Structure 1
């Protein structure tokens, strides 16, 4: 059976990683654009933080409706629609005229891309049973640091095109980054199956194995929102998981969108900024490969999540306290390692709890709450930088939110102990992928 899932992984994951890679580049490249765009359009730190964050507000409000539409039209067509929309809006960013048009286009970008990430998480629940999802999500999330590692030197290079064809470097940046998702949308329409039963590259027996495993897993998992998909949004466990997840996008986007500006304060060129900015994301990629596997092997998911949040807080605080650029870069690498490492472990919990249409709505809701963090992080950092006049204050602001993540983790752990995700008693120290339910009953 492992050969079946290896085959599925090799056919699905490369495509999903590539399209999400462009999604992540698309939403974070604005941090590099601001190096020159800010002066051209009169956008200060707080205004940039607000514009960068408006993407996430739109994304948050529309994630659940988007994923319900995905259920209606199928992942293949809905993902293609999302990709064409966000690519066109990104290219339109090249023609922003001032802060107001910048705000409007960032908001529209969030509208266009809403539901994409939780939609992919939902697609994973169609193809992989619960015990396999934690590692699959971890591999998929490698797209985040890879996108930032590749996008950083690319962005620095494109900024050097300033004046070519009568366009500023930041305009070339948006035009070049916006085109690939539009083209890739047609690849998605052609090759992405909506369901294992549509996969012509699986044999009939292999399709039956996947369908049976996913169906059996769904019967074991406690069904939240059995009667109506939106009822999942009222479940206390979903609400708590959403509140806990808030810390991750807040920290991740708060750091990634401001990282080019923080590094440029070292006094280096845009090109050097691009190359230096790859270092924290290499650390994050290593974290996503190593930490989830270690958590699964040691059967201590909560300890690993807590440890990585501590690392994130220490790295952010050290980056704020020390003035030496070398020490700051090391601290930023530690922070990125900690911010990304625990996310795939955390996502395993809601994926084990929700199935079917409830998964589409519940996963979208958890991510939409996290998207609010994507607004608070960049905007909050901008306000703090404007208020204190230094990027170090912005890093300390993020370090405080790492503490929030640790506090919420205490409540999430207590919830899992008292209300096992898969029904029945569970060893709270075991990783989500090893949780075995003793009862398949529905909640009372």
Structure 2
């Protein structure tokens, strides 16, 4: 009877919360990656060079990484309803303000502010899910949430392309309409979040009292277990060698994601021999549709057969080869290659997160996941700048070949992870601190 009530509470919470959180995630990816659709017209109109574009696109991730952990701690203190509202309203307004950029310095300032505004959203949602869903259901819920990344490009590509074609309407350029409308969409959803979200089951008027009680009891039981077995200090996380392995792997994955997404519209436009608009937006959605399909099937296959390490490495390797092939192929083959690339670097991410979550527990899990996500976000800063440097130094395809190489290195690092169950974090910490440890 108790299990049936708990299942009912989880199902009700999933139907209420997951679609809204997914909408928020779609808008977060849209507002950080739509710069790729504005690239050509934005650079020409705002007076921004290719190098400045690459630097500005990546600067987002510096402040994002620096302020992510403090943002998450504030959310834990004040509650998700208030803090998610703050995050979305501020990032929406700053994203919309990109329409006023003139010159490189104002571009840098806006991107830095946008990174700080959006910081804490992703780990904040992960933390929020721990308030609502027991561990045995959380993996499935996280998998649904991860659909937001490819969905943002599937929906956002055509939308951004359509808005770009509003060039000249009411005296505004197309890229200005894009930033304004997509930014204000996030702001509106942020205001909605204040009224829609509840901080915890006991606050939810839509959850029956008996289901609220059993769900709260289940979450509290897990939290007490974490308190008994978790590490007590966040600082200890930085001394765990395995955490740094996770940081490097996820950093390389993020390089693939943003190295492709920031330049995909321009690459597709070049392949089609046309300017960025609705047609490019529709064609650009194809790789992300493939990513959505791969994200649905591959993690489930890995769960069923316990093959997360091998399948994750193979998936990321396919992504690397896809990026490489797209650099020198004709339009049709390049689009197919980009579809494999996107499917790989998106679908690998839910599989990747099984490694740190199976390894870390308690406070170590909460702090470690935030640290991994924050430091790895710097891959979004590194990728466009490395690509721009390689293209400028060695010729246009060199940037994509470089990204393909770093992606394949990430696949090798996944294979290098130990196959056997790892020691508890505290045990590994003691071993790594010992003078006799290897």
What is the TM-score normalised by the length of structure 1? 0.89
C-alpha deviations, 1:407-443, integer Å up to 9, x for none? 32134335x633257999xxxxxxxxxxxxxxxxxxx
Q: Which residue number corresponds to residue 141 of structure 1?
A: 146
Q: Which residue number corresponds to residue 418 of structure 1?
A: 422
Identify unmatched segments of 5+ residues in structure 1: 425-444
Do structure 1's residue 319 and structure 2's residue 355 form an aligned pair?
A: no
Q: Which residue number corresponds to residue 403 of structure 2?
A: 398
Structure 1 Cα separation of the partners of residues 404 and 347 of structure 2: 16
Structure 1 Cα separation of the partners of residues 210 and 416 of structure 2: 43
Do structure 1's residue 285 and structure 2's residue 292 form an aligned pair?
A: yes
C-alpha deviations, 1:17-59, integer Å up to 9, x for none? 0011111100000001112111112323322111100001110
Q: Which of the numbers 185, 202, 207 marks the counterpart of 1:180?
A: 185
C-alpha deviations, 1:84-126, integer Å up to 9, x for none? 1101111110010111111111111001111111111111222
- Aligned pairs for 1:89-128 (under 5 A) are 89-128=94-133
Which one is further off, 228-237 or 19-28?
228-237
C-alpha deviations, 1:47-72, integer Å up to 9, x for none? 21111000011101111111111111
Q: Contact 1:351 / 1:359 at 8 angstroms: preserved in 2?
A: yes
- Going from structure 1 to structure 2, the CA distance change for 1:15 and 1:160 (only over 3 Å counts) comes to same
Identify unmatched segments of 5+ residues in structure 2: 1-5, 429-438
- Going from structure 1 to structure 2, the CA distance change for 1:381 and 1:62 (only over 3 Å counts) comes to same
Q: Contact 1:141 / 1:344 at 8 angstroms: preserved in 2?
A: yes
Q: Which of the numbers 378, 387, 407 marks the counterpart of 2:393?
A: 387
Structure 1 Cα separation of the partners of residues 7 and 89 of structure 2: 35
C-alpha deviations, 1:365-403, integer Å up to 9, x for none? 11111111111112211222222332x322211111112
Q: Contact 1:352 / 1:422 at 8 angstroms: preserved in 2?
A: no
Q: Contact 1:251 / 1:339 at 8 angstroms: preserved in 2?
A: yes
Structure 1 Cα separation of the partners of residues 173 and 25 of structure 2: 27
Structure 1 Cα separation of the partners of residues 177 and 11 of structure 2: 39
What is the TM-score normalised by the length of structure 2? 0.90
Structure 2 Cα separation of the partners of residues 423 and 357 of structure 1: 15
- Going from structure 1 to structure 2, the CA distance change for 1:229 and 1:212 (only over 3 Å counts) comes to farther
Structure 1 Cα separation of the partners of residues 24 and 364 of structure 2: 25
Q: In the TM superposition, what is the alpha-carbon distance from 1:236 to its structure 2 partner?
A: 3.2
Do structure 1's residue 408 and structure 2's residue 413 form an aligned pair?
A: yes
Which one is further off, 211-220 or 9-18?
211-220
Q: Which residue number corresponds to residue 309 of structure 1?
A: 316
Q: Contact 1:83 / 1:182 at 8 angstroms: preserved in 2?
A: yes
Structure 2 Cα separation of the partners of residues 204 and 210 of structure 1: 10
Structure 1 Cα separation of the partners of residues 268 and 229 of structure 2: 45
Q: Which of the numbers 15, 20, 40 marks the counterpart of 2:20?
A: 15
Q: Contact 1:89 / 1:105 at 8 angstroms: preserved in 2?
A: yes
Structure 1 Cα separation of the partners of residues 262 and 229 of structure 2: 35
Q: Contact 1:225 / 1:232 at 8 angstroms: preserved in 2?
A: no
Structure 1 Cα separation of the partners of residues 376 and 164 of structure 2: 31
Structure 1 Cα separation of the partners of residues 134 and 354 of structure 2: 11
Higher relative contact order (CA 8 A, sep 6+): 1
Q: Which residue number corresponds to residue 375 of structure 2?
A: 369
Q: Which residue number corresponds to residue 432 of structure 2?
A: none
Which one is further off, 4-13 or 229-238?
229-238
Structure 2 Cα separation of the partners of residues 399 and 224 of structure 1: 40
Q: Which residue number corresponds to residue 441 of structure 1?
A: none
Structure 1 stretches of 4+ with a deviation exceeding 6 A read 421-424
- Aligned pairs for 1:144-183 (under 5 A) are 144-183=149-188
Q: Contact 1:46 / 1:386 at 8 angstroms: preserved in 2?
A: no
Q: In the TM superposition, what is the alpha-carbon distance from 1:257 to its structure 2 partner?
A: 0.8
- Going from structure 1 to structure 2, the CA distance change for 1:222 and 1:283 (only over 3 Å counts) comes to farther
Residues paired across the two proteins, number: 421
Q: Which of the numbers 47, 50, 55 marks the counterpart of 1:45?
A: 50
3-state SS, counterpart of residue 246 of structure 1: helix
3-state SS, counterpart of residue 199 of structure 2: coil
